Amino acid sequence: MGTKASWNYTVAPIVIASVCNLAIDDRKAKRDARRMNMEPADEFHKLSHHLHEHHYEGEKLARRMETWKSDTTVDAWRHARMYRCLDPLLTCFPGSRWLTVGDGRYGTDAHYLEQHGASAVATDISDTMLRRAQEDGYIREYRKENAEHLSFADNSFDFALCKEAYHHFPRPMLAVYEMLRVARLGIVLIEPDETPVIAPPRHLLKMLVKETLIRCGLRRLFHDRSTNIIDCGLNWYEEVGNFGFCISRREIERVAIALNFRHVAFRGINDSYIEGVENETASPDSALFRKIRDDIEKLDRQCRRGLSRSRPKLLIGIILKRQVDQSLRTALLDAEFEVRDLPRNPRADKQDERKSA
């Protein structure tokens, strides 16, 4: 009896407290979920900013940061393929000044630019890893910035780069216009591509059969009666809570035309990710490295043949604010970019003529 009473007075409170803590944690998780789903439309961007501001504070990402310093991993090889697409601009504008937006992943974007003769200011809504990158001597300069409301003056930089961060922004077009405001020569986006394409033949046949059955009065067989043959991509969300806001060629082109800019340039590039690339050395002996390369080569072949979705996974889009000279055009074409000359706004040109007269 005495032992039982002792257990009741000592262990029971601990058990009760543990259960209460679990209940509190569960309520907190449910409250956060409700907050995510019920946030008013004009307030959700604030929640998204808050979540991303604290995204890099976890211990898991802090450990992964050590791998981002290395340039010998499979992950570094993947990103170097994307960074090399910046070389035409770095070559034609030596010593240019760059702003990197959404570069909170240890400032790796700014690091590449600095290693290739440019100066760069790395920015992100979270400065957790940027601070450590500067302390480690990996980058020279950083600022904590919200991409949708940059604090820099107009034309403070030559170029602005946003690599694999645009799709995290709750209001990404605000970030694009802010980059265009602070960049004197142009901006570069490297993001998932959602340029509409015609669906694969199998899907076309499926939609043809579906449309035929619907026209024969059998629409009740289908819960989803869409027979769209244009693939515009899927809605997707990431763990941190953002919607995956991708880019397309036409979307970027329209932004440039509306502002009466001169040129845009595009290049598609395929990529593949497998868990563990951050810790694997990019060696011919690595099965993981060979798998990544084989996956990318397969995607490249499919794009060349017009198979699958027939568009690369990533789109590199450049908006150039000024006239492109022949040396830059040649450099971009040699790097497999498509350079598009944009139509001039005739009404705006007439207004300019009246002002000059």
- Judgement on whether residues 119 and 191 belong to the same structural domain of the protein: yes
Structural domains of the chain, count: 3
- Judgement on whether residues 145 and 178 belong to the same structural domain of the protein: yes
With cut-offs at 50, 70 and 90, classify the pLDDT of residue 22. Answer: very low
- Judgement on whether residues 191 and 293 belong to the same structural domain of the protein: yes
Query: What pLDDT, on the 0 to 100 scale, is given for residue 215?
Result: 85
- 15 falls within a domain: yes
Token couple for 189? 């986006």
Q: Kindly state the helix (H) or strand (E) to which residue 161 belongs, with its residue range.
A: strand 157-163
- Judgement on whether residues 190 and 300 belong to the same structural domain of the protein: yes
Query: What pLDDT, on the 0 to 100 scale, is given for residue 334?
Result: 97
- Judgement on whether residues 222 and 340 belong to the same structural domain of the protein: no
Query: What pLDDT, on the 0 to 100 scale, is given for residue 282?
Result: 95
Q: Which of 32-41, 195-204, 266-275, 280-289 is the least confident region?
A: 32-41
Token couple for 26? 């569960």
Token couple for 40? 């008013």
Domain boundary among 210, 229, 248: 229
4 or 215, greater pLDDT: 215
- Judgement on whether residues 206 and 265 belong to the same structural domain of the protein: no
* Residue-range definition of the domain harbouring residue 9: 2-38
Whole-number average pLDDT of the chain: 83
Could you give the C-alpha distances from 70 to 73, 106, 184, in angstroms and in order? Answer: 6, 11, 32
pLDDT > 80? residue 275: yes
Could you tell me whether strands 338-341 and 263-269 are parallel, antiparallel, or unpaired per DSSP bridges?
A: antiparallel
- Judgement on whether residues 207 and 168 belong to the same structural domain of the protein: no
Give me the mean pLDDT over the 242-258 stretch.
Answer: 90
* Predicted TM-score (pTM) above 0.95: no
Q: Which of 59-63, 97-101, 177-181, 236-240 is the least confident region?
A: 59-63
User: Which residues are within 8 A (CB) of 319 and not within 5 positions of it... i.e. 6 or more apart?
Assistant: 180, 186, 187, 252, 255, 256, 261, 264
Could you give the C-alpha distances from 296 to 64, 78, 231, 279, 357, in angstroms and in order? Answer: 24, 10, 21, 19, 56
